[in-house]
A and B are shown apart, each in its own frame.
Chain A
């Protein structure tokens, strides 16, 4: 059997399905529902078996369309930084507020992706977010929580 990344993913999915199936069997149902033709664990159990079936087939059947990925040509560093910035953005958005974190997130993302036109970077972050906030909050009446703008009295 030819071991390639697709097979490894299939194996991981097989293990995941087995774990899912185990968890499905652990779902607590009401006593009167225990022997009912259908209860809260029935569908997940079928899904667990389906996952085992398809990933198992993928594992044992030949793979005529093997995908080869050139890892050396992939941009892991920038992608990783971007994910990290997004995580920091997610962690601070509630405490600091939408306007400041979003503007800083955009500015930092432009910078780490290699942009150095400072004026354009600024225009497409702070004023852009302000305009977008006005569209959502002011025109479409979609509530945006922003402790920072509230603390400086810009937002009610």
Chain B
């Protein structure tokens, strides 16, 4: 492992990669602060830039954007009570009341240090867990992978949108259907192309991400007359107060951070769960374990109440890399985008990545830590100034998002058809968003579609067409039982609500 860490450090500490982490963190912080524009949009917009880099650098840039976006979301939660990303909603419970008491600077400092500590601890957990899990996952067979993918898709559908399980499952199926367009990987038979040569190679992953996130979010902002930048204009540079944390507050944080980081990391590892669930769980658990006197302060500016979700959401970000790096199965929409980008680079994440491309594997892990340090440096002194940059009017912001989306497709294919297809998918996605159809399950399904078909093919061929492979191995049966439990539970809940 020491050798791996050194490989990672050597790759991550090059001038270019440090610069990429800095650019990623800065850009991610800005996008994350804008309510409505989350890490997936930020990463999608970065994809065209990464074409010019090697895979390690490209992924380091995207990882920086990811942490930056989560950090940025916390800032708008604290200063404006307008969470930039869902994972920072719990931050606003105590962060905003603290800011209203004239302690905005202190709240930002607590959030920054908690995120830093949560991210650092989870990077250490990842350091130990990922290689071990990689070795374990080498024993996984096709039926296990197939069942695991079904579980991942079901779980993301269950957690991505409260009370909208069936809508999310429809999006999963739609994502898989889109992934099935083009040549069959084994027989080269074309499917669903309707004799259009442009569809022979299938629909590009970047196109789907740009359409369903970047472009569709831009259109939704215009359609709903939202102005994500208006809140940033309210930030006052002079009323932030001191950023110093006193001894009593530090003592509280020392207790909160370790337990919240463990919760955050473990929730992040689970497929489908992520920063949002992790931060709420950590907040809830913290409220249960503190003294009655401290419990009274929750919701009114509690240090524990702010530190817990901030630690957990950053820890969950690192945790979500575990299934992607070790199994090649992304656990969240954001890591699905990264997986798609990696596949675009010709790198297949999974248990063998650890052996075949150790420089990528380790440099991502090491760059996470470097990213945390950079975010701390960025967040504490610069946040008020970054917030002012956000006062860019939406009249400029929206065309720029569309411009990045179209450029991303243009440099990839030099093809009008792809641009029209992207606009078409974006219009449909905008309409579906209006009615609360979640997009992350669609992206995850689109990324996993090919792998899923491949594993199902192998499983069915090995079992001579029998579906017994689903319960032949204990591991496969357990994964499948969990999936069935999730589906039945959600359908039962729908019935129960009505009655």
Bound CA–CA A65/B393 (angstroms): 34
Complex: chain B residue closest to A106, CB-CB: B399
Contact of B219 among A64, A83, A93 (CB under 8 A): A83
Q: Is the interface of A mostly helix, strand, loop or mixed?
A: helix
Contact of A113 among B174, B222, B416, B495 (CB under 8 A): B222
Contact of B225 among A41, A75, A124 (CB under 8 A): A75
Quick one: which of B311-366 are within 8 Å of A by CB?
Answer: none
How far in angstroms is the closest Cβ of chain A from B201?
A: 16
Bound CA–CA A92/B391 (angstroms): 32
Is the Cβ of B177 less than 8 Å from the Cβ of A47?
yes
Task: Specify which chain A residues have a CB less than 8 angstroms from the CB of B497 in the assembled complex.
Answer: 62, 64
Complex: chain A residue closest to B399, CB-CB: A109
How far in angstroms is the closest Cβ of chain A from B407?
A: 7
Bound CA–CA A143/B170 (angstroms): 38
Task: Specify which chain A residues have a CB less than 8 angstroms from the CB of B410 in the assembled complex.
Answer: 93, 98, 144
Quick one: which of B457-499 are within 8 Å of A by CB?
Answer: 457, 460-461, 463-465, 491, 494-495, 497-498
| A86 interfacial contact with B, CB 8 Å | yes
Is the Cβ of B494 less than 8 Å from the Cβ of A61?
yes
Is the Cβ of A75 less than 8 Å from the Cβ of B222?
yes
Bound CA–CA A49/B428 (angstroms): 22
| B382 interfacial contact with A, CB 8 Å | no
With A51-B177, A90-B416 already in contact, the answer to whether A28 and B498 are too (CB < 8 A) is: no
Task: Specify which chain A residues have a CB less than 8 angstroms from the CB of B420 in the assembled complex.
Answer: 87, 90
Is the Cβ of B402 less than 8 Å from the Cβ of A82?
yes
Task: Specify which chain A residues have a CB less than 8 angstroms from the CB of B430 in the assembled complex.
Answer: 79
| B296 interfacial contact with A, CB 8 Å | no
Bound CA–CA A120/B396 (angstroms): 10
Is the Cβ of B395 less than 8 Å from the Cβ of A115?
yes
How far in angstroms is the closest Cβ of chain B from A55?
A: 6
With A61-B166, A86-B402, A113-B394 already in contact, the answer to whether A47 and B189 are too (CB < 8 A) is: no
In the A-B complex, the 5 residue pairs with the closest CB atoms: A140-B52, A37-B465, A90-B419, A109-B399, A62-B498
A-B contact pairs, 11 of them (CB 8 A): A29-B189, A55-B170, A62-B497, A64-B494, A64-B498, A75-B222, A82-B402, A90-B419, A91-B416, A106-B399, A110-B399
